[in-house]
């Protein structure tokens, strides 16, 4: 069903919220279209800038990260089609192609989620500067801004202070919104306009083909680990039905296998799974099976995720400066480009580090424990610029999250808000603590 193009039409821009469940921004767009008795067009933009070369000399987004995102896009597209709507996929600079689309359709309003990282904010500023009515909706945290015990701009810098303040007032995230079951009509468009597909990156595999490596701790070539929302929700239910939330704290520092952690992060990164939906499942699990230190720790990790988001809202571009949030002077040393290349290719000579980098490069995933070691080794042992490492993780990780990535690299470099300063991990001790039998190193070397 379509409606004639009207001046009050609404365009909904899917960003890192590729889902129909618990999507306040999409709900707002639907309500706006229904209130004005007009159409709603869902859109996803394949940003060509993400396939360009970074300042550090490698592609900004790897083929496997593109493939993971494409799975989430395709899944939400299928669900929209089933509701009588359709997802328009266009390619280019978001601020340009969206402005052109809005003009062509005489659409009055663009609605999307709010992402307070500099690159993403720049697109919104340009769109508004062009005279477009853009409504952004904050929706990626467990708690809404008005639920915090302080103004978002006054968030405590130290995570421990933030956590205690939140927990003192009773940690109670809002319940997730139900999944969308109806969509407004579409505008009149030529049929080929709704089947635009992104071009394959030069030299990349087709975007809908995941990497198939049986060693992967996140085996996303398997249907159960598909990148879409429906697989995410099925995985969440399966994780809880097997009682795994009660073992999370004891196993979370594992290095291989699919059960040592929740494995939610790739779906959280694309928005195929909302944090509130994930936490609501844990609350239901606790109501049935009891709360433990382990289930608490899952909430603890989700609060870490929230804290990085609030820090971005508070500090903005400072999160991306070389000196970060620290007033300490920068050390007068040049970036170790040769050391970085050895690290990037898994040829440092340290077995644990090389195994971790080879897993990352082969699968787009590695454990949280390994990520801390990889970052620490680059910064403190190879004495490289932390921003190069952050850029490589951005390129490779299928669960790249702009807030988490930047926050964690600042944290490990001593340029964040940790009052203890930089965090160096002793890789030899880490081997004894987490891979004493050598099983992980043998798997990847």
Is 246 a member of any domain?
Answer: yes
**289 with 367, same domain?**
no
Is 180 a member of any domain?
Answer: no
Pick the closest to residue 222 from 264, 275, 258, 270 (CA basis): 258
**8 with 134, same domain?**
yes
Is 207 a member of any domain?
Answer: no
Domain extent for 286: 226-317
**428 with 367, same domain?**
yes
User: Residue 103 is part of a domain; what is its CATH number?
Assistant: 3.40.50.620
Burial bucket for residue 349 (CB in 10 Å: 0-12, 13-18, 19+): exposed
Tell me what the mean pLDDT of segment 113-121 comes to. 97
Is 196 a member of any domain?
Answer: no
**295 with 353, same domain?**
no
User: Residue 412 is part of a domain; what is its CATH number?
Assistant: 1.10.579.10
Per-residue pLDDT tens for 328-355? 888 777 899 999 999 999 999 999 999 9
CA separation for the pair 204, 338 (Å, rounded): 26
**248 with 286, same domain?**
yes
Burial bucket for residue 374 (CB in 10 Å: 0-12, 13-18, 19+): buried
**300 with 341, same domain?**
no
In the chain the first and final C-alpha atoms are separated, in Å, by 56
DSSP letter assigned to residue 257: S
Tell me what the mean pLDDT of segment 362-387 comes to. 96
**Residue entry with tokens 């594992």:** 254
Is 154 a member of any domain?
Answer: no
Per-residue pLDDT tens for 274-332? 999 999 999 999 999 999 999 999 999 999 999 999 999 999 999 999 999 988 888 77
**Helical H runs in 1-117?**
24-35, 63-82, 94-105
Burial bucket for residue 187 (CB in 10 Å: 0-12, 13-18, 19+): buried
**8 with 128, same domain?**
yes
- Tokens at 307, concatenated: 């804290």
Of these ranges, 124-128, 194-198, 412-416, the one predicted with the greatest mean pLDDT is 124-128
Per-residue pLDDT tens for 144-170? 999 999 999 999 999 999 999 999 987
The 3-state DSSP composition of the chain as helix, strand, coil percent (nearest 5) reads 50, 10, 40
Is 164 a member of any domain?
Answer: no
| Cβ atoms of residues 102 and 72 within 8 Å | no
**66 with 108, same domain?**
yes
- Tokens at 119, concatenated: 């690159």
**45 with 120, same domain?**
yes
Please state, rounded to an integer, the average pLDDT across all residues of the chain.
Answer: 92
Domain total in the chain: 3
pLDDT at position 410 is: 95
User: Residue 261 is part of a domain; what is its CATH number?
Assistant: 1.25.40.80
**341 with 414, same domain?**
yes
**13 with 119, same domain?**
yes
Is 168 a member of any domain?
Answer: no
| Cβ atoms of residues 48 and 201 within 8 Å | no
CA separation for the pair 88, 274 (Å, rounded): 22
**351 with 272, same domain?**
no
Tell me what the mean pLDDT of segment 172-193 comes to. 85
Tell me what the mean pLDDT of segment 398-410 comes to. 97
Per-residue pLDDT tens for 202-233? 334 444 466 788 999 999 999 999 999 999 99
Per-residue pLDDT tens for 6-49? 458 999 999 999 999 999 999 999 999 999 999 999 999 999 99
Which of the listed residues 139, 154, 185 is the one where a domain comes to its end?
139
């Amino acid at each position: 069903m379509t409606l004639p193009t009207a001046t009050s039409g609404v365009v909904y821009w899917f960003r890192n919220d590729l889902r129909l469940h618990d999507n306040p921004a999409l709900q707002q767009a639907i309500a706006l279209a229904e209130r004005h008795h007009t159409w709603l067009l869902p859109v996803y933009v394949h940003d060509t800038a993400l396939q360009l070369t970074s300042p550090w000399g490698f592609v900004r987004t790897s083929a496997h990260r593109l493939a993971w995102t494409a799975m989430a896009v395709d899944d939400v597209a299928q669900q929209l089609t089933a509701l009588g709507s359709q997802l328009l996929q266009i390619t280019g600079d978001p601020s340009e192609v969206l402005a052109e689309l809005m003009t062509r359709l005489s659409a009055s309003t663009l609605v999307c989620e709010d992402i307070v990282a500099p690159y993403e904010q720049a697109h919104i500023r340009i769109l508004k500067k062009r005279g477009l009515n853009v409504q952004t909706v904050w929706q990626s945290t467990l708690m809404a801004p008005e639920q915090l015990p302080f103004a978002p701009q006054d968030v405590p810098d130290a995570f421990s202070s933030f956590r205690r303040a939140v927990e003192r007032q009773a940690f109670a995230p809002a319940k997730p919104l139900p999944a969308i079951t109806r969509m407004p009509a579409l505008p009149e468009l030529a049929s080929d306009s709704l089947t635009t597909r992104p071009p394959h990156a030069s030299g990349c595999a087709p975007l809908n083909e995941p990497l198939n490596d049986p060693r992967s701790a996140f085996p996303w070539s398997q249907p159960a680990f598909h990148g879409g929302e429906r697989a995410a929700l099925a995985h969440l239910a399966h994780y809880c039905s097997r009682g795994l939330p009660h073992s999370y704290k004891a196993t979370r520092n594992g290095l291989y296998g699919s059960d040592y952690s929740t494995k939610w992060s790739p779906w959280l990164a694309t928005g195929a799974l909302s944090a509130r939906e994930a936490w609501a499942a844990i609350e239901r699990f606790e109501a049935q099976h009891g709360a433990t230190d382990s289930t608490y720790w899952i909430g603890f990790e989700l609060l870490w995720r929230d804290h990085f988001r609030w820090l971005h809202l508070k500090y903005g571009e400072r999160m991306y400066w070389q000196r970060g949030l620290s007033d300490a002077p920068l050390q007068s040393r040049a970036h170790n480009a040769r050391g970085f290349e050895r690290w990037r290719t898994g040829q440092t000579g340290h077995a644990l580090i090389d195994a971790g980098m080879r897993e990352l490069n082969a699968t787009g995933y590695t454990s949280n424990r390994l990520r801390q070691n990889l970052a620490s080794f680059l910064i403190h042992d190879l004495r490289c610029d932390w921003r190069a490492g952050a850029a490589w993780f951005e390129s490779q990780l299928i669960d790249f999250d702009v807030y988490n990535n930047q926050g964690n690299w600042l944290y490990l470099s001593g340029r964040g808000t940790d009052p203890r300063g930089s965090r160096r991990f002793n890789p030899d001790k880490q081997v004894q603590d987490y891979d004493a039998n050598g099983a992980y190193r043998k798997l990847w070397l």
